[in-house]
């Protein structure tokens, strides 16, 4: 998944739910980021175009 904040970071995440709206697909995604050495779990709706398949 590309970062929703616009930075170049890529995070592994888990898609919880998909929804289709007037502007295309969105996914409810949960992922972990590093916040000054502490892991933080983030769950948010992201534009489906930001997501990439797992490798």
**1-55, pLDDT tens digit by residue?**
555 555 567 888 999 999 999 999 999 999 998 888 999 999 999 999 999 998 7
Query: Could you tell me which of 45, 52, 8 has the C-alpha nearest to residue 27?
Result: 45
Distance between CA 3 and CA 41 in Å, rounded? 14
Distance between CA 3 and CA 5 in Å, rounded? 5
Residue 5: the pLDDT is 54
Distance between CA 19 and CA 2 in Å, rounded? 18
Residue 29: the pLDDT is 95
Q: Taking the model in full, what pTM does it have? A: 0.77
Residue 30: the pLDDT is 95
């Amino acid at each position: 998944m590309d970062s929703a904040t616009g930075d170049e970071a890529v995070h592994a995440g888990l898609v919880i739910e998909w929804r289709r709206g007037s502007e295309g697909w969105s996914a409810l995604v949960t992922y972990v980021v590093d916040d000054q050495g502490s892991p933080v779990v983030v769950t948010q709706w992201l534009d489906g175009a930001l997501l990439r398949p797992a490798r």
